[in-house]
């Protein structure tokens, strides 16, 4: 094996240098001595540097000169392990070959599997064959008497992740301590779908590069994780509750997302064209919207307990706030995370576990000016600047209720999936899930934003 003409040294303070240049121990995934013991083979996953680099992490293996290969490799391995005591040993990887533009399998093989191999993580890979596969597999995993996997890594879109989260929650619900079981199986989202909202929200909160599956795989390999809230949507007698990690969409946004399902082959262009189409033929969406402001921090726990909300149909006591009955809206989103796809921070202020649902809606006077305003809002979505427009209202809340008017036929979507329209209400459960994330986010204490003052 050819040795590179670079010398690796470990200083007395455990600082590692290669030809005098500092090497971050946290970037080292593997270190092995060469057969002649004159070198060490080091695999790193470090951020690219240089003016034309994207900053995304890159896996790289180099063979470097050292004085004692075996001793150096052992020392490096110890230093690296000390930094990641929670690194997973075994994970379940769920790949959806039908997600997005069908690149998930390639993303896994090219970007994720080599990182797991270098980090010595055992991976059981499930390639889904149809809708529901991921949910069923995760249900079985979470319901098992013993935890088999330290984490589930999704390579697909938000639809697949939604199946994984709901499957884990459903499986965990059969056990005596479902909340503990759900939190014990950490989840990661590698971008392999169209929207990849969860990935984008976690990456943007942790300073990772949005769209980089290598960054996600590195976080998994290191075992860094943080808490994330989940939202439980209730439909009364109509159907069982829905556990959501992402968002509820209603009105124009639901039309754009759900109404353009058949045009997935257009990629990101699908939503742009659909937005123009649905804004031009703007519909009236009428409903009664109420929410419980964040006057107190949300209570921990309770995701698997009976609902704490007043039954659907029962009046809402103060401090619930209600907009006008059967008011006209154009769009309404209730976001649990900041992004609704890789380029759209619909609720830019949303933290991963800030104990709040971020409501965003517009109530414009129907007409030509409403269309102009909405197009302007959509153009500002990329930078999250829509939120500064007067027409876009945003509120942080712990719970919400949406009751469409009797003659309203607007679509409703949960985590990108169409659900039957009708009255719906929801509550946030902070800290219900753990997700793999970048080191700074894992290190930061769970920041629950301060309560809003009562209106
Ligand atoms: N082998 C398969 N064939 C067809 N559909 C599948 C298959 N495996 C999973 N699915 C379903 O495909 C749907 C969409 O997948 P996914 O969410 O991964 O991609 P996407 O919709 O392109 O991305 P996003 O949800 O981020 O917009 C999911 O609801 C999932 O259940």
Q: Which domains does the chain have, with CATH numbers?
A: 4-83 (no CATH), 90-223 (3.40.50.10330), 246-424 (2.60.200.40)
Residues 448, 294 contacting (CB under 8 angstroms): no
| 97 Cα nearest atom in ligand 1 | 1
| 196 Cα nearest atom in ligand 1 | 26
Backbone angles phi, psi at 95, to 5 degrees: -110, 125
Q: Which pLDDT does position 2 carry in this prediction?
A: 59
Among the residues of 124-212, which ranges form H helices? 133-143, 158-172, 178-184, 197-206
Q: Which pLDDT does position 401 carry in this prediction?
A: 97
Q: Which pLDDT does position 446 carry in this prediction?
A: 43
CA–CA dist 27, 46 (Å, integer): 5
CA–CA dist 338, 342 (Å, integer): 10
Q: Which pLDDT does position 382 carry in this prediction?
A: 84
Sign of CA dihedral 36, 37, 39, 42: positive
| 163 Cα nearest atom in ligand 1 | 31
Distance 144 CA to ligand 1 centre (A): 25
**Residue 117, SS3 per DSSP:** helix
| 101 Cα nearest atom in ligand 1 | 22
Distance 189 CA to ligand 1 centre (A): 13
List all residues whose CB is within 6 A of at least one atom of ligand 1.
96-100, 128-131, 133, 156-160, 163, 193-196, 416
Q: Which pLDDT does position 51 carry in this prediction?
A: 63
Q: Which pLDDT does position 280 carry in this prediction?
A: 86
Q: Which pLDDT does position 230 carry in this prediction?
A: 97
**Partners of 41 in the β-ladder:** 32, 63
Count the alpha carbons within 13 Å of 292 in the hemisphere toward its beta carbon: 20
End-to-end CA distance of the chain: 70
Task: Take atom 31 of ligand 1 and give the residue whose Cα is closest.
Answer: 131
Residues 157, 192 contacting (CB under 8 angstroms): yes
Task: Take atom 4 of ligand 1 and give the residue whose Cα is closest.
Answer: 130
Q: Which pLDDT does position 444 carry in this prediction?
A: 67
Q: Which pLDDT does position 426 carry in this prediction?
A: 97
Q: Which pLDDT does position 448 carry in this prediction?
A: 41
Task: Take atom 9 of ligand 1 and give the residue whose Cα is closest.
Answer: 131
ipTM attached to this prediction? 0.95
**In the chain, which residues have pLDDT < 50?**
445-455
């Amino acid at each position: 094996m050819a040795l590179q003409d670079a010398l690796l040294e470990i200083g007395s303070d455990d600082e590692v240098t290669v030809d005098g240049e500092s090497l971050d121990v946290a970037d080292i995934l593997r270190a092995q001595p060469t057969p002649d013991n004159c070198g060490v083979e080091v695999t790193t996953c470090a951020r690219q540097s240089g003016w034309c680099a994207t900053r995304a992490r890159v896996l790289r293996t180099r063979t470097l000169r050292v004085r004692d290969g075996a001793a150096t490799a052992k020392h490096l391995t110890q230093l690296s392990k000390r930094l990641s005591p929670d690194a997973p040993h075994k994970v379940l990887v769920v790949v959806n070959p039908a997600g997005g533009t069908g690149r998930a399998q390639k993303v896994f093989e090219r970007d994720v599997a080599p990182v797991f191999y270098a980090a010595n993580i055992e991976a059981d890979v499930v390639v889904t064959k149809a809708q529901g596969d991921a949910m069923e597999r995760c249900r079985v995993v979470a319901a098992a008497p013993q935890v088999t996997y330290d984490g589930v890594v999704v390579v697909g879109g938000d639809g697949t992740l939604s199946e994984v989260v709901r499957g884990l929650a459903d499986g965990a619900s059969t056990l005596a301590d479902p909340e503990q079981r759900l939190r014990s199986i950490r989840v990661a989202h590698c971008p392999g779908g169209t929207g990849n909202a969860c990935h984008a929200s976690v990456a943007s909160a942790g300073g990772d590069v949005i769209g980089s599956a290598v960054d996600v795989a590195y976080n998994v390999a290191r075992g860094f994780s943080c808490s994330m809230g989940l939202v439980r949507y209730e439909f009364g007698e109509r159907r069982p509750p829905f556990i959501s990690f992402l968002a509820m969409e209603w009105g124009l946004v639901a039309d754009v997302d759900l109404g353009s399902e058949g045009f997935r082959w257009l990629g990101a262009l699908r939503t742009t064209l659909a937005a123009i189409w649905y804004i031009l033929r703007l519909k009236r969406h009428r409903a009664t919207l109420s929410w419980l402001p964040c006057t107190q921090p949300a209570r921990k726990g309770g995701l698997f307990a009976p609902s704490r909300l007043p039954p659907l149909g029962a009046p809402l006591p103060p401090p619930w706030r209600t907009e006008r009955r059967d008011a006209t809206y154009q769009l309404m989103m209730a976001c649990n995370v900041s992004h609704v796809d890789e380029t759209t921070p619909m609720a830019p202020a949303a933290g991963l576990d800030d104990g709040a649902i971020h409501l965003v809606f517009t109530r414009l006077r129907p007409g030509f000016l409403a269309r102009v305003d909405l197009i302007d809002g959509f153009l500002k979505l990329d930078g999250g600047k829509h939120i500064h427009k007067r027409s876009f209202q945003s509120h942080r809340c712990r719970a919400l209720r949406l009751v469409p008017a009797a003659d309203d036929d607007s679509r409703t979507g949960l985590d990108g999936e169409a659900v039957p329209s009708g009255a719906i209400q929801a509550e946030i459960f902070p800290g219900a899930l753990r997700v793999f994330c970048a080191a700074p986010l894992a290190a930061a204490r769970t920041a629950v934003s301060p309560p809003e003052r009562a209106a």
